Structure 1
Amino acid sequence: MLGLLLLQVLSSCLWLGHSEVVKTFASCPQFFYEGTFPNDVLEPKNPAYICQRYSNSYHFATLYDRDRRIPVYSAYKYKPGSGKRPHTWSFVEPQLIGNNSFKAMEREWALIKQYKFHFNQIKDSQAVLDDYEKMLGLDRGQLNPSVHQDSTDSKTATFTLTNIVPQDSCLYIRQWNTYESEIMLQLTNTCRTTYVITGAVPGNNYVAEGRVNRPSHIWSAACCLVDIEHRKTWGAIAENDEEQVKLLTLGELEDRLTRLYGREKKVTLFKNACSQQ
């Protein structure tokens, strides 16, 4: 009887461990302005809501498209800093692999060698390193870039494939990099807190032998808290085969995304209180 009770308790613990990938971001609302998430217009058919966990802490949130094997968006607080540059290996998300007790991202080899996962289990659930090694003219584009984080742990956490999309190499190293590294610094110079949601519009083409979607556009939106009473917002978008980033108002970006997704209901990224300036 005692053995059966212990088994039931263990089973409960394993299920609770799997609760990090659920149907809401209830475990990590702090990465969204006033804890309010974007509306459901961007939600894919087979979503995974991931509270990105590394070194026993949450660092950002990602809505992941299981079918296309790319993130829909990542949400985070903009905190650029001089933390030590981490290793640039890429993690995978064991929580996407059925029921298991893992709460945090992990490296592929560790899951296979140490924890006895089969490679096909990982590959069936998400993009893997081998997918990105086969891509030509494309880079691993981070939606939450490491340069927008201050600590070594937060920077390291961005190197997970659930935060990465196939991004045009020229766009990645030039104009989008300029936006991330220089323009964001200029736009946030009066902000005490900035909430960012960066996403990718699914495209019509697939890479890595048809496994991973190549987005048609990369976009980003920001909600800046200047002080208790004042807010400012902006957006940016780029076609994923051109070297041009367009700066927009938040309202213009939401209208553009509504058209790109072909939905009647309008995309809403931030709670209305983050006024559109």
Structure 2
Amino acid sequence: MSQRKMLPALLLLLPWLDGLALGEISNDFSQCLDFFYSQTPPQGISGPGYLQPICQRFKNQYHFASLYNRQHRTPLYSAYRLNAPDGKRPAATWMYEPQLAFSRASSEMQPFRNPVDQNVIESQAVNGDYTNSTYTRGHLNPSLHQKTIENREATFTLTNIVPQKKGSNSGPWSILENEVLKKFKAFCQGPMYVITGAMPYKSVEHRIKNRVSVPEYMWSAYCCPCFNASLPEAMRPLFPTYAAVGRNDRNSGEEIVPVNAKAKASVKGYDVRRMSLETLEGILTQRLAMPITLFDGQCQ
């Protein structure tokens, strides 16, 4: 893409890529680098503004990492190490990040209490944003990909959530999450690093209740640097990395993700396209107008 073409796109997307805001939460993920392959967060994301690294802390332990956009009240991505769950999905106790509202507050996520403090409401998404909306709370780091009950409970923070249509959340995207878990259990002989994020609309911004930005697409990529050397032939293109993009809007064009005309009516238009890591990085680089690398050295 030429610099002339990249500039208008960057200007449109700067509200999503508002740079790194300093805070006590985490300045640079230095406290939770273990959730990134080679202890290296995605490279190439830059710009002035309000992107806040969060080391997601719950019950005196770090569980995953999120790059949170304060202005849009959603994460740009969450990064984690996948582990097969040792139990069922816990009951949802939705939480928030106190330090987004008060810099000297507790470093641990906290459950919402009524009434919600106005500073919390102004600093991040709250449950009321999703009430009576047409969107579900879409996990970037799903509880399905976390081992212990504490790990799974920690995913229920709204700093790990984006507005996601039900047809996607419980349909094709859920199928993708289960597929990734099965690949991990069958073929990974070491850690699997996953980064899952949200892709904004290209031009006109969408929000729920004029507060929380809605992504046009969801995306995800994994890195499994140590895998079974005797992979079946069909599995070899899927290691050490693979990726996907899912539609979150039935009315979006098909240049990124085609629509399956034969899909059931309830999920038609929420298709997920599987692809190589290189293809995903190319899409993100073009859409976000900056050269993005998700895994250091391409997970080699």
Same fold (TM over 0.5): yes
Q: What is the aligned partner in structure 2 of residue 132 from structure 1?
A: 130
Structure 1 window deviating more from structure 2 (74-83 vs 141-150): it is: 74-83
Q: Is the 8 A contact 2:23 2:103 kept in 1?
A: no
Matched, 1:164 2:179: no
> What 5-or-longer segments of structure 2 have no aligned partner?
1-21, 231-238, 250-268
How far does the alpha carbon of each residue in 1:63-86 deviate from its partner, in whole angstroms, 9 at most, with x for none? 000001100000000102222432
Matched, 1:143 2:140: yes
Q: What TM-score, normalized by structure 2, do the two folds share?
A: 0.77
Q: What is the aligned partner in structure 1 of residue 286 from structure 2?
A: 259
Q: What is the aligned partner in structure 2 of residue 123 from structure 1?
A: 121
Matched, 1:61 2:46: no
Q: Is the 8 A contact 2:145 2:181 kept in 1?
A: no
Matched, 1:193 2:188: no
Aligned counterparts of 1:179 and 1:73: Cα–Cα separation in 2: 17
- Secondary structure at the aligned position of 1:56 is classed as coil
> What 5-or-longer segments of structure 1 have no aligned partner?
1-17, 113-117
- Secondary structure at the aligned position of 1:30 is classed as helix
Q: Is the 8 A contact 1:141 1:166 kept in 2?
A: yes
Aligned counterparts of 2:24 and 2:34: Cα–Cα separation in 1: 15
Q: Is the 8 A contact 2:78 2:196 kept in 1?
A: yes
Cα RMSD after superposing both structures: 2.3
Distance apart, 1:107 and its partner CA: 1.2
- Secondary structure at the aligned position of 2:78 is classed as strand
Change (3 A) 1:161 1:65: same
Amino acid at match of 2:138: G
Distance apart, 1:269 and its partner CA: 0.4
Q: How does 1:42-121 map to 2 (within 5 A)?
A: 45-109=49-113, 119-121=117-119
Match of 2:175 among 170, 174, 178: 178
Matched, 1:216 2:216: yes
Amino acid at match of 1:209: K
Aligned counterparts of 2:49 and 2:185: Cα–Cα separation in 1: 35
Aligned counterparts of 1:41 and 1:59: Cα–Cα separation in 2: 23
Q: What is the aligned partner in structure 1 of residue 246 from structure 2?
A: 238
Q: Is the 8 A contact 2:81 2:192 kept in 1?
A: yes
- Secondary structure at the aligned position of 2:299 is classed as coil
Change (3 A) 1:94 1:251: same
Higher share in strand: 1
Q: Is the 8 A contact 1:20 1:27 kept in 2?
A: no
Amino acid at match of 1:195: Y
Q: Is the 8 A contact 1:237 1:246 kept in 2?
A: yes
Match of 1:249 among 249, 266, 276: 276
Q: Give the number of aligned pairs.
A: 249
Q: Is the 8 A contact 2:94 2:157 kept in 1?
A: yes
- Secondary structure at the aligned position of 2:96 is classed as coil
Q: What TM-score, normalized by structure 1, do the two folds share?
A: 0.83
Higher share in helix: 1
Q: What is the aligned partner in structure 2 of residue 269 from structure 1?
A: 294
